Amino acid sequence: MNFYFEAAKVLDRLDAKQGSIKGVIATVPEKDRRRTAALVIETLKYKTVLCDVITAANLLKEERKITSLNLALVLVHDLLLVNGIQTSEGPIKQAVLRHKTRLRSEFQKIKIKRGVKSTTDLARTGDDRAVREALKTEECQSGNFTLAPPRGVLPTWPRRGLPDELDIPGTVKSLLDKQYPRTHPNQRQMTQRLS
């Protein structure tokens, strides 16, 4: 259980802006540093979703043993997204396990409400602070700024300079016919060997 308390302390320090993730994790003892870093980073990825689950399940209101939101975040993360809480039996673990079905059902409700297929789609990928700062610029506030659709951002074959025919399987032969007209009698045999 000390591992979870240590991870909750790291999250508390990050919430209080007492350092960067790397700097705060460097203060953790060497033997638990990697494990704590992995748990803290994964918990931060899903923090908004986990907070919604905890508030919907009334976990902090009904259980007095769980004293901080960050401790609940770490425990609920391991309960829902990993193979369970990795610690021996204790009153805090039992407090979370009493609400296991409610937490899982609230998690499924959030997945359905947001229309995601897997839990990895719930992870926060962008930096909200960077988006907020970009939206404060004069260009954005004047209305001359629009976000590109995801389809326009992702690379496609024509943008890479390759012909459209390469997207369709089995068109290499027709591509060769277009580029090299049949002027030599043995060329038909060569194209048949290719296909």
> How confident is the model at residue 158, as a pLDDT?
47
Q: How many angstroms separate the first and last alpha carbons of the chain? A: 63
**Cβ distance 102 to 110 under 8 Å?**
no
Total residues belonging to the chain: 195
**Cβ distance 70 to 12 under 8 Å?**
yes
* pLDDT tens digit sequence for 20-70: 888 988 888 888 889 889 899 889 888 989 999 999 999 989 888 888 999
Chain mean position to CA 182: 53
Q: Where are the domains of the chain?
A: 2-122, 157-195
Q: What is the 3-state secondary structure (H, E, C) of the chain?
A: CHHHHHHHHHHHHHHCCCCCHHHHHCCCCHHHHHHHHHHHHHHHHCHHHHHHHHHHHCHHHHCCCCCCHHHHHHHHHHHHHCCCCCCCCCHHHHHHHCCHHHHHHHHHHHHHHHCCCCHHHHCCCCCHHHHHHHHCCHHHHCCCCCCCCHHHHCCCCHHHCCCHHHHCCCCHHHHHHHHCCCCCCCHHHHHHHHC
**Cβ distance 102 to 114 under 8 Å?**
no
The reported pTM is 0.64
**Cβ distance 104 to 59 under 8 Å?**
no
Number of CB atoms found within 10 A of residue 51's CB? 14
> How confident is the model at residue 145, as a pLDDT?
59
> How confident is the model at residue 73, as a pLDDT?
93
> How confident is the model at residue 2, as a pLDDT?
83
Which residues does the chain have with pLDDT short of 70? 125-135, 137-195
Distance separating alpha carbons of residues 93 and 146, to the nearest angstrom: 47
> How confident is the model at residue 159, as a pLDDT?
45
